[in-house]
């Protein structure tokens, strides 16, 4: 398992508002090895209420790499292998989980993280040879 260079341990603020955090996978910094990459580790119980990813630089691979994005126990919660097929990871693409009643960026059900749970990105099938993806996560304490 690898860790993104800008990964962190998060605890949402003390209010009842949503706190947004951003993380970037960058091939030039993080490499492209086919493995799990830690994005965020929960330091306490919290709820992910929204999530999306934007491809900043087109992802490439010498093979048919896939990228999935999820959480401990459900590694494709936010992006599945169809959305994350290297052919779909072109600059400017935004990936959102399946929306509620057509509302973009609203998760079908909140995603609860317990202390120690992680948000993960997985590169599989083949390594990436280029690319940059920004992940944005809306967190609330529970």
DSSP states along the chain: -EEEEEEEEE---SSSS-EEEEEEEEHHHH---SSEEEEEEESS-EEEEEEEEEEEEEEEESS--EEEEEETTEEEEEE-TTTTBGGG--TT-EE-PPPBTTBTT--SS-EEE-TT-EEEEEEESS-EEEEEEEEEEEEEE-
What is the rounded average pLDDT of the residues 77-102?
Answer: 83
What domain count does the chain have? 1
Domain of residue 108 covers 2-141
Between 97 and 31, the more confident residue is 31
Higher per-residue confidence, 130 vs 111: 130
Q: What is the pLDDT of residue 99?
A: 53
Q: In the chain, pLDDT over 70 holds for what percent of residues?
A: 83
Which has the higher per-residue pLDDT, 11 or 82?
82
Give the residue-averaged pLDDT of 57-86. Answer: 92
Q: What is the CATH number of the domain that holds 112?
A: 2.60.120
């Amino acid at each position: 398992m690898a860790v993104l260079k800008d990964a962190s341990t998060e605890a949402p603020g003390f209010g009842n508002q949503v706190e947004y955090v951003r993380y970037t996978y960058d091939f030039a910094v993080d490499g492209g090895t086919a493995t799990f990459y830690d994005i965020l580790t929960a330091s306490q119980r919290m709820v992910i209420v929204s999530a999306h990813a934007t491809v900043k630089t087109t992802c490439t691979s010498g093979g048919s790499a896939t990228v999935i994005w999820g959480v401990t126990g459900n590694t494709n919660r936010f992006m599945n292998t169809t959305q994350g097929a290297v052919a779909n990871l072109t600059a400017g693409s935004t990936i959102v989980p399946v929306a509620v009643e057509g509302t973009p960026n609203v998760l079908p059900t909140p995603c609860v993280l317990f202390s120690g749970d992680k948000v993960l990105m997985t590169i599989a099938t083949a390594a990436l040879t280029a690319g940059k993806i920004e992940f944005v996560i809306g967190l609330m304490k529970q």
